Amino acid sequence: MDVDAMRAIDKWAGIPLTFCLTQLQRLLRISGFVRKQSLQRILFIELSEMGSTILVDPALQKAKKQLSAELFFLIFHKNKESLELTGTIPPGNIFTLREDNLFALLIDTVKFFLWTRKNNIDTVVDLELFSRFTALLTGLTGATRKVGFYSFYNEGLYRGELLTHRVSYNPHIHIAKNFIALINSLITENKELPYSKQRVEDDELGLPTFNCTDEAVTAMTLRIGEYASNYNDEKQHLVLINPNASELLPQRRWMEDRFEALIIKILALRADILVLITGAPSEQDEAARMCDRIGDPRCVNFAGALKLAELPVLYSMAILMVTNDSGPGHFSSVTPLPTFVLFGPETPKLYGSLGNSTPIFAGLSCSPCVSTANHRKTPCTDNKCLQAITVDQVYAAVLPVLEELT
């Protein structure tokens, strides 16, 4: 479904539905009809953001370690592969919803509720910041504990009164720390209002490191050779360029002509560099046009060449990546790859990668312009926050990595 259509349905159907479900739950509490379950099985809900599946991993690890709980996850079908990058959630514990059309979404939602009962889910952690749909899913699971972000007296989207553990979202700390605060609300022995009154330390934000085998490297070398016939992994260095971003927020895209100018400067620096333009299968034509305009055989269209689960192998072999603020900036964080991320409508203070990442951010007074309070929807049609980032500025950032090559 179109993003704006999903937002409209979430608003006009979500508000009355969350209100009605709130009243029903109040009646059930008054009547004493409330399930009592020990904390053993936690379901996490994060539907639309692939990058968030990486950012939430420290919270998942803490839940597994300190609560000794079995973990489950609900996500949109197209984003499922992003969960496989860390391997924290067993494949059999992942349920997906098809978002292609409303009918498929409704069918899968009914199946989801049956799935939660079958797996005896006793705790739900809603990771979304603005979705009424996930609030409804959380409220209808029948779980004893329902954890999520709550606006309290702040301005924010109405999501009903469905949570048992209301955590105060903090817009001044990284989102990964906010996710850990959700888990802290389950760990604390005392009831708090609001949850959670604990400090989240920087050293809690670690991620598992991807283990790249020799066999995987050999297979990836052959794959690259299919697109770049003269590729020699012993003599050439791979530079990755990801010029695209999801349709959820197209304002995050740096201009194509600047990516092209950056690629030309990088290729001119050294003759032993091969640039791969990465992206989804739907972005192949755009990448092909970029390669045609650059006109250098050492710039190769690699969009759609890999499945998402294969990307960490490529990242383990490359020397650096430049990307818009999108999924790849987070996917690379499970590898040591130096990653340079261009920020505009978002801020790296809240959504920066947890890996070996360097944010490039102009910091205009209007930026960031998307937040939890505006459904991550901006009126901007002229992203000067990214136009303010020059080719020379990005080149200067990546140059130290290139100069260290032997």
**Domain locations in the chain as residue ranges:** 3-204, 214-403
Give residue 387's identity as a one-letter amino acid code.
Q
pLDDT greater than 80 at residue 247: no
Identify the burial level of 99 via C-beta atoms within 10 angstroms of its C-beta, where 0-12 means exposed, 13-18 middle and 19 or more buried: middle
pLDDT digits (tens, 9 = 90+) for 123-154: 999 999 888 999 999 999 989 999 999 988 87
Cα radius of gyration rounded to whole Å, the chain: 22
The neighbouring-strand residues paired with 167 are 149, 195
**Residue % of the chain over a pLDDT of 70:** 98
Distance CA 146, CA 163 (A): 5
How many CB atoms are closer than 10 A to CB 20?
Answer: 12
Q: What is the pTM of this model?
A: 0.92
| Choice among 13-27, 198-212, 261-275 with the minimum mean pLDDT | 13-27
Please give the CATH number for the structural domain made up of 3-204.
Answer: 3.40.50.2000
- Torsion, Cα of 98, 104, 110, 111 (10° steps): -60
**Structure confidence at residue 6 (pLDDT):** 79
pLDDT greater than 70 at residue 64: yes
| CB-based contact 182:42 (threshold 8 Å) | no
Q: How far is Cα of residue 282 from the mean position of the Cα atoms in its chain?
A: 19
Do 3-204 and 214-403 come out as alike in CATH topology?
yes
Give the up-direction half-sphere exposure of residue 327: CA atoms within 13 A in the CB hemisphere: 23
Q: What is the second-level CATH architecture of the domain 214-403?
A: 3-Layer(aba) Sandwich (3.40)
Query: Average pLDDT of 366-386?
Result: 86
pLDDT greater than 90 at residue 34: no
**Structure confidence at residue 31 (pLDDT):** 77
**Max Cα distance, the chain (Å):** 75
| CB-based contact 86:108 (threshold 8 Å) | no
Q: What is the mean pLDDT of the chain?
A: 93
| CB-based contact 167:181 (threshold 8 Å) | yes
Query: Average pLDDT of 198-205?
Result: 95
pLDDT greater than 70 at residue 202: yes
pLDDT digits (tens, 9 = 90+) for 280-297: 999 999 999 999 999 999
| CB-based contact 331:324 (threshold 8 Å) | no
